[in-house]
Structure 1
Amino acid sequence: MTFNDRTLGVAALGLSAFLVWFGHDLETPFAYEPMGPRVFPMMLAAVIALCGVRLAVKGGNAARPNPPGANSRIALMVLIVVGYACLFQLLGFIIATALATACVGRLFDGPWIRSAIGGIVMGVCLYLLFDLVLDVVLPLGMLEAWL
């Protein structure tokens, strides 16, 4: 089987069906916002489904093979995301995000210093956005004593 747009479209439809199944019964014990937690997975599922239908109907374009080294970078990216998820609570949002961002920067051949600075700026700015603007509580982890 060759991988093409139609295959990706059908996979996207499967993913959107999973998101609908997962998000349909999402509820919180208390109402902290008018729309509730199920809105995001449902909206995401709708967008993915629309894109999947477009690819499945249009379809036909064969995918080019990955360039050399791309598969190992993809595997490392998956490991970085798994590590981020595992360390998120322990290290806190700022440190875990800074580390993950710096690792991704290095993965794409960014210099160490720029990757580290970009990771720190990304962690701090996103934390401030979520905390001050969106009022989302994020774990501080190791920084909780100082902030």
Structure 2
Amino acid sequence: MKLAADRVLGLALIGLAAFAAIHAWQIQVPFSYEPVGPKAFPIGLSVVLALLALVLVFRPGENGHWPDKALMLKLLAVLGVLVVYALLFTQLGFIVTTFFAVLALARLFEATWRKALLAGVLMALGSYLLFTQGLGISLPGGYWLADFV
């Protein structure tokens, strides 16, 4: 049972990679605005994820114990924050959702309120500027913002 944790995680990650690749393959774009197209990046990430997950399946680490109850609850809380982030991303917009997700994750990992708030503001605004200005990617502003504009 010692190595089961790595192998179970590896198989789960292979399943996630397959799920992402299948959905990325189904992306239909009426015109190509990039030489490679929007399918290449998620499919490439899926291939890399699957290859690295195979390493976990065939060469698990020596310390493959299951996490204790406290760590498992913290990991489930992180998963919950990320699921809520994905569900509210378009409704609330990138900046608001990222702020609250970073705030929640920082508090989950025992940051003080001041540090968590600072991290939330810096990560939300910094990553927004990086994506929009640096990479030219448009991000959702949120449906609530349309009422104010």
- Which band: TM-score by shorter chain? 0.7 to 0.9
% same residue: 35
Secondary structure of 1:135's aligned partner:
coil
The corresponding residue for 1:26 is 27
What 5-or-longer segments of structure 1 have no aligned partner? none
Alpha-carbon contact 1:94-1:123 (below 8 Å) kept: yes
Q: State the shift of 1:95 in Å.
A: 1.4
Match for 1:116: what amino acid?
Answer: L
Q: How many residues align?
A: 146
* Separation in 2, partners of 1:22, 1:130: 23
The corresponding residue for 1:140 is 141
The Cα offsets for residues 31-62 of structure 1, whole Å up to 9 and x where unpaired, read as 22221111112111221122123233324746
Q: State the shift of 1:23 in Å.
A: 2.0
* Separation in 1, partners of 2:109, 2:15: 30
Q: Comparing 44-53 with 116-125, which one deviates more in the overlay?
A: 44-53
The corresponding residue for 1:95 is 96
Match for 2:96: what amino acid?
Answer: I
> Structure 1 79/133 Cα, relative in aligned 2: closer, same or farther at 3 Å?
same
> Structure 1 126/113 Cα, relative in aligned 2: closer, same or farther at 3 Å?
same
Alpha-carbon contact 1:5-1:61 (below 8 Å) kept: no
Structure 2 matches for 1:1-147, cutoff 5 A? 3-59=4-60, 61=62, 63-141=64-142, 142=144, 145=148
Alpha-carbon contact 1:4-1:60 (below 8 Å) kept: no
Secondary structure of 1:18's aligned partner:
helix
Q: TM-score normalized by structure 2? A: 0.82
CA-atom RMSD in angstroms: 2.3
Q: State the shift of 1:89 in Å.
A: 2.2
Structure 1 outlier segments of 4+, above 6 Å: none
The Cα offsets for residues 112-132 of structure 1, whole Å up to 9 and x where unpaired, read as 010011100000000001111
